Structure 1
Amino acid sequence: MKAIKARSRAVVLVVLAVAVAVAAVPMQPATAVTKAQVDAACADSRQQYDDYVRAQERFRQATLAYDQALADVERLERRQARIQESAEKAEARRDEIEEQIQQQIVEIYMQGGTSTPGIILSAQSLDELLTTQEFLSAAAIGGQRSLQGLFAQRADLDRLQAELDQVHEDLVARSEEARVAMEEMNSAMDAEAAAYQKMSQRCKDLAKKYEAERAAAEAARKQRMAGSVQVGPFICPITPGRTQFTNSWGAPRSGGRQHKGTDMFAPWNEPIYAVTDGVVSIREGGLGGRVIWLTANNGVAYYYAHLSGWNVSNGQRVKQGQVIGFNGDTGNARGGRPHLHFEIHPSGRGGPAVNPYPTLIAACR
């Protein structure tokens, strides 16, 4: 694949919270931008700025709706699988009981257990035979338990089938809600980008700075109950302004898992960048699809998933800002909106992940 020239971007020094119970007092930057300053700077772009803010909120709400619908779909799929497994077991037990009853019928016939053998010979189905008084009288000797078991298994199968039908109906409904939410996300992203382009440059600059400072303050607030680990110079893995994301850390996922990263939505095949210098390893398969692990010089590991393709080879050393892959929907993201699933592991591959959202919001806004 043809290499794309690495770009230079502002380096953001970020601090990640880890689970160590110490107090940390958030500090406000000396030149903090106020909302009043943003409003003043955007006076000549008031409508565009308001549209921009509304579009951001639309995207946030749509993403929350999409995540919830997706979690419901995955929950329903797990339930569907459990019911299907129970139905298959009940079906196997029913077949076993029917086979036992058929053997009893043969024994009854051979022993002259009915006064009218023709009833057995003329029956068109097992059900037809089982409902005749002749058979019920003969079977009362030793076959009533099998009959009761058969009827119970059939009732259980009917119940399970009704549950499967309801789950399927719910799945269709929630899948449609996820699709609608995804369309709303797309629309909100387009509206945000369009409004941003129409804003004056000073309005853009102060609005972005204001958002970044608010994100940094939120990250500092979360550190009040935690220590900190410095991960070194870090840049946004996707061009700022070309991606949208929310804090979905801990959201439910398939198999009872919790979301351990941030989903960064961006156009298909959008370039993905090395957030720092380091060595990459690539692999394909599993939930992540096409994946890159970037291990930084200081040992921190970064995980990139759902890529459409790579722009590096296994074991290659890369520089910060170098294009290492392209945004996609591989793995369990297939068919959904293209996005980069991004994780940060401060103690390296195999170590626990920490919420990357504060780091990303500071670098990408």
Structure 2
Amino acid sequence: MMNAVRVDVDAYELLWPTTLFITEGERIARSSGGQWSDRVTWLLTEALSGTTAMADFEDVANLKKSQQVDPWASAAPSRTTPTWGTGDGNPQREWFTELLSRANELRHVAAPRPYWPQRRSESFARMPGKPADVHQEFVRIITEFEGNGYLVEAFGERCVDGDEDLLDPAEVIDRRLGIAGLWPLTPAKWDEDDFYGLVEVFHDMVSRPRRRWFHSFSMCGWHYIEFHAVPGRTLYRWKINQMLSSAGIEYELAAEGKDFGRLVAVTDDARSHLVHQVLHLSTPGVKERVEHAIVLFRSRSASSESKRSAIVTLAGVLEERRQLIRDDIGKPDEGALFEIANRYDLRHRRTGQHGDYDAAFLDWIFWWYLATVELTNRLIVARTA
């Protein structure tokens, strides 16, 4: 029986979201050609901390070469002769395939636990960062992306053979944001609009290079090719949202919807999943209205009036599906659903409606109505099936 190449997942730590690492890795695993191992090496360099995984990947091939059966030895194979499993016989492919299959076992890099002096200090506590600290962390993240070629598609890159494609980053950002002088990044000069504008604009500019090659002439350095925006933006949102959360800033970059890549108010995972489900199942015509309501409600600058408008939009969708709700849920419950929208100061704005309620009521009614839209989506899908 053939033995599979062993992968020591306990020795590696992820710098990326697990799902993104698997997605990009599976794409490489399906590819072929002479650049295959280079793509793997670049992925391991980017996505895993340190050089251990990359060294193990290279050592797999070297180990096979060093332990091949001596042609002058007995024809009977030694018990210590390594075997490499089935497949195409490429040990590096087998190693990489096993790593992907066990990617969910990989730990993420985390800040070290408090050391002795910190644990002894009564004043030690993890407090939200100051604005200056957050700005500096943002610069560090952008510098890392720039160093890994994620801004080459937006800005171009220097080369000893000529810089014909090189753009001025300050002009590129100015054209998008309408604010001059934001490059080089100088956090001491930023106000809130500058900072949040940069957070959003870099989301739209990053693009992951899936290949790189080393230009040795005059030690020019690495050049990057095969750009793809989806993994670049996914990784960027993950890093930026972690940064904002650690600083106690209650905004995050939206992962879908009309406000995709824009800062929105933070919700928990369950509500984020609800947004995904309702957008995924909504029919054309309804989807656009629901997207509009979500944008209104979770905007960074959402007011009570915009939240009311969002609720009214959802109520309109449910009104059109009133008979469906009545048929599947029952008339008494259907009446209660619309009684809130009609008796409170939301839709009709009539005399005698309740208007002296806490703003938290708006949050509750919005998510309730959004969940009901998602329920009716499922009922429609079930009927169609």
Superposed pair shares fold, TM > 0.5: no
Structure with more of its chain in strand, by fraction: 1
Please say which structure displays the higher CA radius of gyration: 1
Greater relative contact order (CA < 8 Å, ≥ 6 in sequence): 1
Please give the range of the TM-score, normalised by the shorter of the 2 chains. under 0.3
The two structures have a TM-score, normalised by structure 1, of 0.25
More helix by share: 2
TM-score, normalisation: structure 2: 0.24
